[in-house]
Structure formats: C-alpha cells, structure tokens
C-alpha cells in the first residue's frame, strides 16, 4: 500500500513508515500526518494571537 511507505525527500527511495531515517542515504524522513496537523494548528493559533495583539495595541496606544 502507498500509505505504508514514505518517500525520502533527498533520494526518493521508498522507506517503511515506521523507520525514522532513510535506508538508502540515512537522512531523516518526513514526519507523519498527525504532527503536521498539530504544527498547522499551532501556526493558526500564533496567527490569531498576533492579530488580537495588534488590535489591542491599536486601541491601547494613544494617538
């Protein structure tokens, strides 16, 4: 199955998804979906935190 293999980003060799490093060149393989999703939600939270911070500062700072 395609989902059971991860393509190496450097040499494109297919590796088992359980292995953390490429069996051909030894480079670290891309992480699985859950971590990418968590990282994405972190950026969304950081983005809204910055937006809210900017809005607060716009009203807080005297003109």
Binding positions for Zn ion, rule: CB under 5 A: 8, 10-11, 13, 22, 24-25
Of residues 31 and 45, the one with the C-beta less far from Zn ion: 31
Shorter beta-carbon distance to Zn ion: residue 24 or 45: 24
- Tell how many helices (H) and how many strands (E) occur in the chain: 1, 2
Contact 16, 29 (CB under 8 A): no
**Residue closest to 37 by CA, chosen among 45, 27, 29:** 45
Rounded least distance, CB 19 to Zn ion, Å: 11
- Minimum distance from residue 23 beta carbon to Zn ion (Å): 8
DSSP annotation of 29:
P
Q: Residue 12 or 41: which CB sits closer to Zn ion? A: 12
């Amino acid at each position: 199955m395609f989902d059971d293999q991860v393509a190496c980003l450097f040499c494109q060799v297919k590796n088992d998804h359980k292995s953390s490093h490429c069996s051909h060149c030894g480079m670290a393989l891309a992480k699985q979906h859950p971590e990418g999703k968590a990282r994405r939600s972190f950026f969304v939270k950081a983005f809204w935190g910055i937006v809210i911070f900017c809005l607060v500062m716009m009203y807080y700072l005297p003109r």
